[in-house]
Amino acid sequence: HSYYSFHDGASSLEELMVRAKEIGYRALALTDHDNLCGAMRFAHLSKSLEMQGIIGAEVTLKGDFHLTLLAKDRNGYRNLCQLLTQAHNSAERNSPELDPALLPEYTSGLIAMSGCPRGELAQLVSASRSDEARRLVRDYTDWFGRENFYLELQNNLVAGDNARNKKLLALSKEMGVRLVATGNIHYHVRERHRLQDCL
């Protein structure tokens, strides 16, 4: 998340990209909250730094759940723009929310990841609501295709991470859905946490 994740991200695109390059990343995904404000600048920076820049967004669904969407191609970018527009049109100005019922219409060209600990799937497995979790996985694999939906594992060194990840791993094996490990990054160096706390 860059500083285009308003009130949440504490580093610029340049700071994030240069730091990622310094520590040996070959690719980085920009998934700001409910917007693509930094997408064009991010694409140019990626090219200039010879890194793979992956454009996406962390979309807020109704119920305040998060879902991570990545654009695979132009069609995916177009569909992501449509979904974000729908989210902003149907809610209060500073609180966009997307009705999940709109997702099936706009899945072409998109990869979906189940989201951070605030994702609906993460919440369901944490609450041991297994039947609902399985149903949600079936919905997402039906909508996006099994090859375009991943269960997202994050270890942010916060209480509950290990237990949640074990349950997601078990669900992945049971449902035959692939896993992806992600980092919920909000700043490029540790010292920047003070600014992020203020935000």
Strands of the 110-113 sheet, one edge to the other: 27-33, 52-61, 65-71, 110-113, 149-153, 178-181
57 pLDDT more than 90 = yes
Tokens standing for 168? 């997601």
Give the per-residue pLDDT at 53: 96
Give the per-residue pLDDT at 54: 97
The string of pLDDT tens digits covering residues 79-130 is 999 999 999 998 777 889 999 999 999 999 999 999 999 999 999 999 999 9
* pTM of this structure: 0.94
Give the per-residue pLDDT at 67: 97
Instruction: Locate all alpha helices (DSSP H) within 4-144, ordered by sequence.
Output: 13-22, 39-48, 74-89, 120-126, 130-144
142 pLDDT more than 80 = yes
Find, among 80, 64, 183, the residue nearest to 120 by Cα: 64
Give the per-residue pLDDT at 195: 87
158 pLDDT more than 80 = no
Give the per-residue pLDDT at 193: 87
Give the per-residue pLDDT at 177: 97
